[in-house]
Amino acid sequence: MSTSPTGFTVSSAWLAEHLNDPGLSVIDGSWYLPAQGRDAKAEYDAGHIPRAVFFDHDVVVEPGSPLPHTMPSPLIFATFAGSMGISRDDTIVVYDGPGFFSAPRVWWMFRTMGAKKVYVLEGGIDGWKKEGRLVTRQPTKVASCLFEVDFDASRVASFDEMRAIVEGGGRQIADARPAGRFAGRDPEPRAGVRGGHMPGAHNVPAISLSRDGRLLPPDELKQAFAEAGVDLDKPVVTSCGSGVTAAVVALALETLGHRDTKLYDGSWTEWGGRTDTPVVKDEA
C-alpha cells in the first residue's frame, strides 16, 4: 500500500483516500459503558464506514473466563480475525465513536497477536460523520482468510505478575480509570468490585490523553505522564476497569517511544473483585 501512515494513527482524510486500496481492513471497534448510553452494534448497523467489519468486545474473548474482556488464546483470536477477513499482513484501521476510547484495545490486541500495520482513526466515526464523509448500512462482504498469529506474551501482564509488581515494584502502574474511581470516591460500574486502586499506582485517566478525538501532541502527552508521576524511562504496566481503556495509555506510551509496556488484561475488575488483594482509597 502506497504512502503508509506513520505512528499509530491515521486521519479521516487518509482513510477516505485509501478506502479502495487492496490489503486494507477497517474495523469498527466501538464499545461503551452503560453510562455512555450508546449501543455500538446498533450504531454500526445504522451506518458504518465502508468496508468496516464489527469487532464485538464482548464476544472476542476467552470462552469461560469469569472476567468481561479476557484476551482470547492465540488460536481463538486467529479464528475470529480470519472469520472477519483480516490478515496479519493487512493495513488495519480501527475506529470507535469518539476516537480514543475502545479502538485502542483492538489496536493493542492485533499488535499483540502479531499484526504490525495497525492504526486508530483520529476523530472516530463521530468525526467522520461530522465531516460529512460516506457511511453505509450495507453489510460488509467478508471473505474468510487465515490470520497467522505471532503472539507476543511480553505485552500482557497476568494477575500473578501484577501481585508481584505491587509487592516488589520493578514496574510502574498506570491506571486509566477516571480520578473518582481511582480514588475510591465513585462507585465501580460492575457489582461486587471494590473502589480504589492498587498500592503505588499512578492515575493517568484515558480521557486526559486525547482532545477532540485525537491523541494529544507528544509534548502534552509527556506532560500528562509527568504530572501523573510516571517516569517514561522506566517500565510501565497499564490497567483500567476491564482492560479496554488501558490500551489508550499503552498507545500513548508507545507513541512516545516507550517500548517496555505491558497491559494488565484482568485490570481492576479482577483485582478489585477479589478479597485477597490490597486496595488503597484516597482520603476525601
Write out pLDDT tens, residues 109-166.
Answer: 999 999 999 999 999 999 999 999 999 999 999 999 999 999 999 999 999 999 999 9
pLDDT over 90 percentage in the chain: 94
Residue 197, pLDDT above cutoff 50: yes
**Residue range 9-151 in CATH 3.20.20.100:** no
Write out pLDDT tens, residues 2-44.
Answer: 466 779 999 999 999 999 999 999 999 999 988 899 999 999 9
Residue-level pLDDT at 94: 98
* C-alpha closest to that of 81 among 40, 29, 41: 29
Residue-level pLDDT at 3: 60
Q: Are 5 and 18 in contact (CB under 8 A)?
A: no
Residue-level pLDDT at 23: 95
pLDDT over 70 percentage in the chain: 98
Residue-level pLDDT at 2: 45
Residue-level pLDDT at 282: 87
> Looking at the annotation, which residues are catalytic?
240
Residue-level pLDDT at 1: 45
Q: Which amino acid is at 264?
A: Y
- Cell 488503597 belongs to which residue? 280
CATH number of 154-271: 3.40.250.10
Residue-level pLDDT at 151: 97
Helix (H) or strand (E) holding 211, with range, is strand 210-211
Q: Specify the domain boundaries for CATH 3.40.250.10 within the chain.
A: 9-151, 154-271
Residue 284, pLDDT above cutoff 80: no
* C-alpha closest to that of 104 among 30, 186, 184, 187: 30
